[in-house]
């Protein structure tokens, strides 16, 4: 009877010890000490409690690691930063040589590779690759929400030879993969791809580990995606604001140019009109005819300048608003240049100059003849404007493999090297002075450059062989 009472007392003490142990477990204390005296049901219960303590301790430590990793990942702001942290921190959770991330399109119709990192030299499948989601193996993963393990990609590729994405990563050397779907707020976001260079890498334990953090990771990825989108929109808005400020500045400069450059010719024309209306107040009878011709010539020159300025301003407005349209047609280079040179010959002769045309062979280009004439007119006008009397202007056309190179060589003073690139910007004038005192708007070469570029060509200037300058441009064949 005494032994029986002692046994009951010991059993109660052990039950109390087990109860205390369970209380410790519930409060997060996992290091327990329990004594076992004999192999009975109570000892089995004690062993089960210790096993539970070990399991809970392992889970707590793993959860602590997961929390640390997700905290580190969540410190990333943009999607790129978050994915970089995933690549850096996930090694202790899931083995991989490569991680890729793909986004599902807004309409759910396709999957696009967004980001990838690996620890080997070259990737064949990276950002920008896109494939349909419907009917693909990824569609089933998305619908079930369950990760997929492929531990023999060589075998999988033989079974699915049309899988282009699988072929790409097999070419990289990847032999096994773990594909995990990401969903945020009940909406599919994309897929995370863990890949290994070794076959048989992934187990269900890795799936279970991923599933424990998938919700947190999905929310972080979606947060990063939204932040990245906002950043992109902000950059786009800032770029538009910069462009708008530039357009406003351009508009103000154009208004300033118009106001400044039109004032003088308008004043001269008004003065000439006043003089012509009251000639008796200013001229003797015999002088009136000579002065009338002189004033009419001056009015014509000033009117031409104002018209040229207004046309330049209109061209700039069209160019900067993106409304410069080209009416393309077949243009015979030889006939085209012969016609322009003939028009300029008389003006050049008035300054004692000669215009020479050198065309190696006949040929045709697709261009807007009116705009192309505007280019050659401007370059020829400048050549005549800055060349001294008695000089020769040479117009050359050379057909090359992919384009025509047209150049205008003058006998002017030349252009300093530091001024050459600036000449093709708006409102830029070189240091050279026109030999006949002609006026310049500072817009012609800038407009010429943009017309050439609109045709897909290039424009430039280089020193002449002995003196002067050679302005050239190209037009694709």
Of 279, 390, 377, give the one whose Cα is nearest residue 337. Answer: 377
Question: How far apart, in whole angstroms, are the C-alpha atoms of residue 393 and residue 34?
Answer: 108
pLDDT at site 58 = 74
CA distance 194 to 90: 10
Going by C-alpha positions, the residue among 69, 103, 98 that lies closest to residue 86 is 69
The pLDDT score that the predictor gives to residue 38 is: 58
**Is the four-CA dihedral 129, 130, 135, 139 of positive or negative sign?**
positive
Cα 134 versus chain centre, distance: 30
Phi and psi for 100 in degrees, rounded to 5?
A: -125, 155
Residue 59 predicted with pLDDT over 60? yes
69 HSE (CA, 13 A, CB side):
24
Task: Summarize the confidence of residues 169-183 as an average pLDDT.
Answer: 93
Whether the pLDDT of residue 295 is over 80: the answer is: no
pLDDT at 460: 92
Radius of gyration of the chain (CA): 41
* Mean pLDDT of all residues in 440-450: 78
Q: Is 394 helix (H, G, I), strand (E, B) or coil?
A: strand
Which pLDDT score, from 0 to 100, does residue 275 have? 65
Which of 122-131, 276-285, 423-432 comes out lowest in average pLDDT? 276-285
Mean pLDDT taken over the chain: 80
Rounded average pLDDT over 196-206 = 93
- Decide if 76 contacts 85 (C-beta within 8 A): yes
Lowest mean pLDDT of 7-11, 164-168, 284-288, 371-375, name the range. Answer: 284-288
- The most distant pair of C-alpha atoms in the chain lies apart, rounded to whole Å, by 161
Indicate the SS3 state at residue 376: helix
pLDDT of residue 66: 67
pLDDT in the model for residue 471: 93
Summarize pLDDT for 209-251 with one digit per residue, the tens. Answer: 888 777 777 777 777 777 777 878 888 888 888 878 877 776 7
Residue 331, pLDDT > 70, answer yes
SS3 (DSSP) at 438? coil
The H or E element spanning position 187 is strand 187-196
**pLDDT computed for residue 303 by the predictor:** 75
pLDDT, tens digit, 9 for 90 and up, residues 376-426 = 988 988 888 888 888 889 999 999 989 999 999 998 888 888 777 788 887
Rounded distance between C-alpha atoms, residue 300 and residue 370, angstroms: 24
Tell whether the model's pLDDT for residue 35 goes beyond 70.
no
Tens digit of pLDDT for each residue in 63-73? 777 677 677 66
Average pLDDT over residues 119-130: 86
Torsional class of 427: left (φ above 0), alpha (ψ -120 to 50), beta (otherwise): left
Q: Which of 6-10, 52-56, 167-171 has the highest mean pLDDT?
A: 167-171
State the alpha helices, DSSP H only, in 278-395: 288-320, 333-350, 369-386
Confidence of residue 477 (pLDDT cuts 50, 70, 90): confident
What does the pLDDT read at residue 290?
A: 61
Give residue 431's pLDDT: 56
pLDDT score of 267 more than 60: yes
Mean pLDDT along residues 75-89? 78
Residue 34, pLDDT > 60, answer yes
User: What local confidence, expressed as pLDDT, does residue 394 receive?
Assistant: 92
* Burial call 13-28: b when 16+ CB within 10 Å, e when fewer: ebeebbeebeeebeee
CA-to-CA distance for 244 and 423, rounded, in angstroms?
24
Decide if pLDDT at 39 tops 60.
Answer: no
| Residues 6 or more apart whose Cβ sits within 8 Å of residue 134 | 109
Tell me which of 454 and 4 has the higher pLDDT: 454
pLDDT given at position 352: 83
Residue 109, CA distances (Å) to 103, 104, 155 in order: 11, 8, 28
**Whether the predicted pLDDT of 263 surpasses 70:** no
Q: What is the mean pLDDT of residues 7-33?
A: 73
| 3-state secondary structure (DSSP) of residue 352 | coil
User: Residue range 244-272: average pLDDT?
Assistant: 67
Q: What is the structure's pLDDT at 473?
A: 96
pLDDT in tens, 145-158: 899 999 999 999 99
The reported pTM is 0.48
pLDDT(159) > 80:
yes
Where residue 14 falls (left for φ over 0; alpha for ψ -120 to 50; beta otherwise) is alpha
């Amino acid at each position: 009877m005494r032994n029986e009472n002692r046994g009951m007392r010991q059993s109660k003490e052990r039950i109390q010890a087990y109860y205390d142990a369970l209380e410790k477990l519930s409060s997060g204390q996992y290091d327990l000490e329990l004594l076992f005296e004999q192999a009975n049901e109570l000892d089995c219960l004690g062993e089960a409690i210790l096993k539970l303590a070990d399991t809970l301790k392992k889970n707590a430590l793993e959860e602590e690691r997961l929390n640390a990793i997700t905290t580190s990942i969540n410190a990333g702001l943009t999607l790129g930063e978050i994915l970089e942290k995933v690549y850096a921190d996930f090694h202790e959770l899931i083995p991989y040589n490569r991680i890729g991330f793909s986004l599902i399109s807004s309409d759910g119709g396709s999957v696009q590779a967004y980001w990838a990192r690996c620890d080997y030299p070259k990737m064949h499948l990276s950002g920008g690759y896109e494939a349909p989601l419907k009917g693909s193996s990824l569609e089933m993963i998305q619908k079930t929400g369950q990760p997929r393990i492929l531990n023999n990609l060589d075998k999988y590729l033989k079974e699915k030879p049309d899988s282009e994405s699988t072929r790409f990563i097999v070419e990289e050397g990847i032999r096994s993969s773990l594909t995990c779907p990401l969903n945020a707020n009940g909406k599919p976001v994309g897929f995370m791809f863990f890949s290994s260079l070794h076959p048989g890498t992934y187990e269900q334990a890795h799936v279970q580990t991923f599933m424990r953090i998938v919700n947190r990771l999905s929310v972080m990825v979606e947060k990063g995606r939204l932040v990245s989108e906002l950043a992109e929109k902000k950059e786009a808005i800032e770029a538009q604001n910069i462009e708008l400020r530039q357009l406003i500045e351009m508009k103000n400069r154009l208004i300033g140019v118009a106001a400044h450059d039109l004032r003088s010719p308008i004043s001269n024309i008004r003065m000439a009109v006043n003089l012509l209306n009251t000639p008796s107040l200013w001229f003797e009878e015999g002088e009136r005819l000579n002065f009338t011709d002189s004033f009419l010539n001056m009015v014509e020159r000033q009117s031409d300048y104002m018209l040229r300025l207004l046309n330049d301003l209109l061209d700039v407005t069209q160019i900067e608003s993106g409304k410069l349209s080209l009416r393309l047609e077949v243009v015979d280079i030889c006939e085209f240049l012969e016609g322009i040179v003939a028009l300029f010959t008389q003006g050049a002769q008035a300054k004692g100059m000669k215009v020479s045309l050198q065309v190696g062979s006949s040929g045709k280009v697709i261009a807007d003849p009116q705009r192309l004439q505007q280019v050659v007119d401007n370059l020829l006008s400048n050549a005549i404007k800055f060349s001294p009397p008695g000089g020769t202007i040479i117009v050359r056309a050379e057909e090359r493999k992919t384009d025509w190179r047209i150049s205008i060589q003058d006998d002017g003073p030349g252009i300093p090297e530091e001024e050459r690139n600036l000449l093709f910007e708006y409102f830029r004038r070189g240091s050279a002075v026109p030999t006949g005192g002609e006026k310049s708007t500072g817009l012609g070469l800038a407009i010429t450059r943009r017309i050439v570029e609109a045709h897909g060509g290039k424009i430039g200037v280089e020193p002449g062989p002995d003196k002067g300058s050679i302005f050239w441009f190209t037009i694709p064949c």
